[in-house]
Amino acid sequence: MRLEGKRIGVAVTGSFCTYQKIFLQIQKLVEAGAEVQTIFSAAAAGMDSRFGKAEDFLKRAEEITGKKPFQTILESERIGPTAMFDVLVIMPCTGNTLAKLANGITDGAVLMAAKAHLRNERPVVLCIASNDALGMNMKNIGLLLNAKHIYFVPFSQDDPVKKPNSLVAHTELLLPSVETALEGKQLQPVLAQGR
């Protein structure tokens, strides 16, 4: 399956250290012919970090996609009634977002986007980046691996010695993960070889 003409939502959360890879993948989605709309969490849209300024990330997303990022629950809510996307990608998907999604909490633009999109029984692809994925969040990963319409970009430990509970998605596998999710399948193996 190709991505040309597909309507893809990309929801960005606050794992700032992954943004260089994330924006590269957003660019690749656009280059593949997809129509991309970004959605920024409050942290992603409002927090500066050592990795860059929030306003620069918002501007970059708009430059790549040609569309102003959604930043509010109200903007994201209309995703459901209008069946706005063929697929929604949460990239990066932090441990906080993962836990809230697994437990049905909708308290921001990204989680509302997921809730609104899932009401149409369409795929959500998670690109995890979490320092506690093999700790407190492992149970949430288990719940989501067994949830309907939820798929993962294959992931592995990024630094098993210094950060033994940390997992990071292999972002270079985003496009095939999205294509496979659109077919109702999980790209395998979901546990990728380490970095």
- Over residues 149-158, the pLDDT tens digits come to 999 999 999 9
Share of the chain above pLDDT 70, in %: 98
User: Which tokens belong to 73?
Assistant: 């629950």
| Ranges of each domain in the chain | 13-110+119-168
Q: Tokens 């308290």, residue?
A: 107
Q: Tokens 């077919």, residue?
A: 183
Q: Tokens 């993948």, residue?
A: 25
Has domain 13-110+119-168 been given CATH number 3.40.50.1950? yes
> What is the predicted pLDDT for the residue at 193?
80
Question: What's the CA gap between 195 and 185, in Å, rounded?
Answer: 24
> What is the predicted pLDDT for the residue at 194?
66
Mean pLDDT of the chain: 96
